Chain A
Amino acid sequence: MPDRADLLPGTLDLLILKAVSLGPLHGYGVLLRINQISGGALAIEQGALYPALYRLEHQGLVATEWGTSENNRRAKFYQLTAAGRRRLREQTESWNRTAAAMAAALRARTGEV
């Protein structure tokens, strides 16, 4: 899969927050949602998702609840807390600023310097 980009450090947390901000999801659902919203362009080992989820829960950014999945199985659902929402907003802004700055920097040509 040559067209899949490696994940930059720290971006997995942001992606998870984004994914669960769209509605409560179980772990596998988070994975599918990330694949979906990133167009399958981001590669992570599936197991790596869970330490990140546990970390976010530990920090109080997501809350968990056991519920029933779409095919009637017991599953643990993650959902954004108020603190998580705040963090997502901040991180998104900061990411956009960085991305814009990077994009501008990379657009630079010899004549403009």
Chain B
Amino acid sequence: MLRRLRSTLAALLRRTRFEHDMADEIRFHLEARTSDLIAAGVDPKEAARRARIEFGSMERYREACRDARGIRPIDDLRADIAYAVRVLRRAPGFAVVATLSLALGIGANALVFSVVNALVLRPLPIEHPEQVFTVQSDGDIASQSYPNYRDLRDRNQTLAGLAAYRISPVSLEQGATAVREWGYLATGNYFDVLGIEPVVGRFFHQADDLAPGVSPYIVLSYDQWQARFGGSRDVAGTSVRVNGRPYTIIGVAPPGFRGTELFYQPAFWIPMMMQPLVEPGNPWLDRRQTFNLILVGRLKRGVSASQAETDLNTIAAQLTRDYPTINAGMRLRLTQPGLFGDMFGGPVRAFAIAVLALAGLVLLTACANLAGLLAARASDRRREVAIRMAIGAGRGRVLRQMLTESMVLATAGGIAGAVLAALGARGLTAWHAPVDLPIQFDIIVDGRVLLFSFVVTMAAGALFGLLPALHASRSDPQSSLKGEGSTRFARRRWPVRDVLVAVQVALCFVLVAGCVLAVLGLQRSVTTPLGFEPDDAAIASVDLGLAGYDQARAAAFRRRAVAMLSGVPGVKTAAFANSVPLSIDQSTTTVYPDVPSGNPRADRRSVIYYQVSPRFFDAIGTRLLEGRGFDWNEDPHVPGRAVVNQTFAKQILRGAPSIGSHFRYAASGPPIEVIGIVEDARYRSLTESPQPVVFIPMLQSPNLTTVFVVRSARPARQMAAEMRRVLATLDPSLPVYDAESLHDMLGLALFPMRAAAVALSLFGLLAIALATSGLHGLVSYAVARRTHEIGIRIAIGAGARDVLAAVLTRTAWLLGIGAVLGAGTALLSGRLLATIVSDVSPHDPVVLMATAALLVLVGFVSCWAPARRALRVSPVTALRTE
């Protein structure tokens, strides 16, 4: 076997040598035979002739010799490709259009697939990633509290290790000042559970993370190490100030390891037990009700995920029994890590796969288009095919030749597509979300993406090539050469192309409907009331805790900052809060009704909370519907007042006369009085359902993270810069971040929808371009084929209307049928689109009408030129052509 392969390879690689030797050998044979014949007394001239006759067909035997060496199929392929390239070069317009549309179709698929690959398929760069799962709670709180985590870690029987982490910012020393950097607080066993080895120094372990505050160690990410220390190996053991305190750099994580979240680029890891110092003023290591950790566990060898789930839920049941008000309804699930488990993973994966489906539709459209064009070309080439078959080419050979042509096209398109995808992936990886959090995806074109592109390319080539090729190879040489084909065969071949066009129009309709839907949705979500007024508002954030402020100093700082900001010319209102709606930082707390209903699980509600200063509602532009807001005279020592939104009043106060009614933060805690009600707003995303929200006076419940909000008559961006300046005069060493107009901050909330709108619009445009060229090709072809007939019609007195009707009726029908099919599909797939786009239903008549109108336009544009050509047919020349 090996020897044969070698012999084939040798013949292939030393091809000239092989041919040369073969020619020599045959020449030797002929000469030897001739001289033998001459020796036998034959006349020399006659001898040479007879030697050649006795030898037989030289070309046939040469071919048989090549065949014997196993290089014949490869020779044929080479000839086919050369022939295909020649044929395509003779139709450069077609070749370019085909390659371009394939490049776009395949490129779109490869790019979307590389995103799916990065988010769903590619395992984390850790040891045995298939054993590692996120342990997440069902319901709206996917995270766990530290005490719950400790119990789960210590009591389970099925996990080799369970680690916990939390995304957290610190103020990291840089020269004389400090910058805010994001990293992870991670339990001591974190690196051991994930199975990571440091490139420099060591990682922290369980023994380093036993008591609060005693392990000021920091592990740097590879990128941070490169950026800060230029990759110096001496960094291990040196000290760096974190939140103003010295920490020892003990090691550096390997390149490519970015923790377990796919969207996040951490700068560091600090042991969990340092939490009180990393997040000063808010110690929660002992607070069972603070759910803020993500849990990641590694299964013991031989344990299945469902066994571990059962085991963990047994513990969850115990924890619910022991702490019913906190853990009511706790159920745990193992999910794929990477996107906070299913919390983001579900929607993100669903979206990525939906977009992949759309990209597939675009490619299908491109294929239908090319199949139509190739079919048209194939019937024009019937004569050529017939001649080839008449001189002895088998049907298989002709079929292979035509398929080679489409494969050559597909390959050119595939290569161009892969290049496009690689460029796109690089762009996506370089993209940074417009937020303080270092959001970054790592999207690369790896082997899996290339394999996918290759398979897609080959499938596309087969898809659009096979049908026309089969048709062409079925032609009957005799009738084709006699010229009958143009009438007899045309009828039989038409329907296939018609079906292709109708399918293409239908696909185009679906894509365009999706595109219109996304654009409308985006437009509406920009114009829907947000429940606050982003125009003319600017924000700037500081983290006083990281700068070492205690509560008293922080309160004084804020009072002074508000006073100074209020004095800036043009400022109408200045206020502050721990966070603002639609920013990335949203916190929840649990609330209970004033009077228990007897069902602790139903009573316990998770609500978003904001800690706000007086006049916050004026500053952010939220209307106060009833009651009053907070004022500066609120006694910090008498807690118990809150402002809530409409949904809170409806769902938690349950119709009780709202102002003056009560709720509680703990089932047995003191009652809290509602002093005001504000309008609902969007808090986490633009597509969310109405959320219950409580506003707590910042003066009573201080938080060291502070967002200043200023409403002014000046341009918001200019105001944001002014705020940064004012805050710096108060404390030059304090890092100010996220100083921007409130509008700019909304970019994050709008991002998913913008991404969807851009993707869908691109696909829609692509589909329109493909449909236009497809219809154009079809009508042009029809006109060209029927020139003769049109000429006769005009000669016997047909007017422009009759000619147009003759040419365009079929096209109009196809458009109509395609549109109806497409509308049906769009309606059926509407649920998918509705998940991405808010407030717009695919059943919306506006969407369907707009799409239909667009398609009419497409039809008009694509028929314009050929229809004019049909009208200009001169009967005399037309009748002469045949």
Which A residues are within 8 Å of any B CB, using their own CB? 26-28, 31, 45-48, 50-52, 54-55, 57-60, 66, 69, 71, 73-76
A27 near B28: Cβ-Cβ < 8 Å = yes
Task: State in angstroms the CA–CA spacing of A27 and B22 once bound together.
Answer: 11
B31 near A73: Cβ-Cβ < 8 Å = yes
- Give a binary string over B43-69; 1 marks a CB under 8 Å from any A CB, 0 the rest: 000000000001111101100110111
- B window 3-39: CB within 8 A of A: 3-4, 7-8, 21-22, 24-26, 28-29, 31-33, 35
B33 near A54: Cβ-Cβ < 8 Å = no
Contacts of A58 in B (CB 8 A): 4, 7-8, 68-70
CB-CB under 8 A for A50 and B28, given A28-B33, A57-B7 = no
Contacts of A27 in B (CB 8 A): 25, 28-29
- B window 409-436: CB within 8 A of A: none
* Dominant secondary structure of chain B at its interface with chain A: helix
- Name the residue of chain B whose CB is nearest to the CB of A58: B7
A45 near B28: Cβ-Cβ < 8 Å = no
Besides A54-B69, A58-B68, A66-B21, 9 other CB < 8 A contacts?
A: A28-B32, A28-B33, A47-B56, A47-B57, A50-B29, A58-B4, A60-B3, A76-B25, A76-B28
Task: State in angstroms the CA–CA spacing of A34 and B207 once bound together.
Answer: 89
CB proximity of B275 to chain A, nearest CB, Å: 74
Count B-side interface residues using an 8 Å CB cutoff. Answer: 28
Task: State in angstroms the CA–CA spacing of A47 and B60 once bound together.
Answer: 9
CB-CB under 8 A for A75 and B28, given A45-B56, A47-B56, A48-B61 = yes
Give 12 CB contacts A-B under 8 Å: A26-B28, A26-B32, A28-B29, A45-B56, A46-B29, A46-B54, A46-B55, A47-B55, A51-B61, A51-B68, A57-B7, A59-B4
A51 near B28: Cβ-Cβ < 8 Å = no
B54 near A76: Cβ-Cβ < 8 Å = no
Contacts of B28 in A (CB 8 A): 26-28, 69, 73-76
Contacts of B22 in A (CB 8 A): 50
B68 near A46: Cβ-Cβ < 8 Å = no
A47 near B68: Cβ-Cβ < 8 Å = no
Q: Which 3 A-B pairs have the closest CB atoms?
A: A51-B64, A47-B61, A54-B68
CB proximity of B534 to chain A, nearest CB, Å: 78
Contacts of B31 in A (CB 8 A): 73
Contacts of B61 in A (CB 8 A): 47-48, 50-51
Contacts of B70 in A (CB 8 A): 58
- Name the residue of chain A whose CB is nearest to the CB of B62: A50
Task: State in angstroms the CA–CA spacing of A57 and B21 once bound together.
Answer: 14
The residue that A47 contacts in the complex, of B7, B21, B35, B58, with Cβ under 8 A, is: B58
- Name the residue of chain B whose CB is nearest to the CB of A59: B4
CB-CB under 8 A for A50 and B32, given A55-B68, A58-B70 = no
Task: State in angstroms the CA–CA spacing of A90 and B55 once bound together.
Answer: 30
Contacts of B68 in A (CB 8 A): 51-52, 54-55, 58
CB proximity of A15 to chain B, nearest CB, Å: 17
Contacts of A52 in B (CB 8 A): 68
CB-CB under 8 A for A46 and B65, given A28-B28, A76-B21 = no
Task: State in angstroms the CA–CA spacing of A88 and B29 once bound together.
Answer: 25
The residue that A50 contacts in the complex, of B4, B7, B8, B25, with Cβ under 8 A, is: B25
Contacts of B3 in A (CB 8 A): 60
CB-CB under 8 A for A45 and B55, given A54-B69, A60-B3 = yes
Contacts of B69 in A (CB 8 A): 54, 58
Task: State in angstroms the CA–CA spacing of A77 and B576 once bound together.
Answer: 98
A48 near B56: Cβ-Cβ < 8 Å = yes
CB proximity of A23 to chain B, nearest CB, Å: 17
- Name the residue of chain B whose CB is nearest to the CB of A55: B68
Task: State in angstroms the CA–CA spacing of A47 and B54 once bound together.
Answer: 8
Task: State in angstroms the CA–CA spacing of A59 and B61 once bound together.
Answer: 18
CB proximity of B34 to chain A, nearest CB, Å: 11
Contacts of B25 in A (CB 8 A): 26-27, 50, 75-76
The residue that A74 contacts in the complex, of B8, B24, B60, with Cβ under 8 A, is: B24
- B window 812-851: CB within 8 A of A: none
Contacts of A28 in B (CB 8 A): 28-29, 32-33
CB proximity of A63 to chain B, nearest CB, Å: 11
CB proximity of B483 to chain A, nearest CB, Å: 40
Contacts of A73 in B (CB 8 A): 28, 31-32
Task: State in angstroms the CA–CA spacing of A75 and B67 once bound together.
Answer: 22
Task: State in angstroms the CA–CA spacing of A76 and B69 once bound together.
Answer: 17
Task: State in angstroms the CA–CA spacing of A8 and B617 once bound together.
Answer: 103
- B window 537-567: CB within 8 A of A: none
Contacts of A50 in B (CB 8 A): 22, 25-26, 29, 61, 64-65
Task: State in angstroms the CA–CA spacing of A39 and B31 once bound together.
Answer: 23
Task: State in angstroms the CA–CA spacing of A48 and B57 once bound together.
Answer: 9
- Name the residue of chain B whose CB is nearest to the CB of A76: B25
CB proximity of A16 to chain B, nearest CB, Å: 13
CB proximity of B54 to chain A, nearest CB, Å: 5
A46 near B7: Cβ-Cβ < 8 Å = no
CB proximity of B204 to chain A, nearest CB, Å: 64
Contacts of A60 in B (CB 8 A): 3-4, 7
Task: State in angstroms the CA–CA spacing of A12 and B140 once bound together.
Answer: 83
CB proximity of B498 to chain A, nearest CB, Å: 49
- Name the residue of chain B whose CB is nearest to the CB of A60: B3
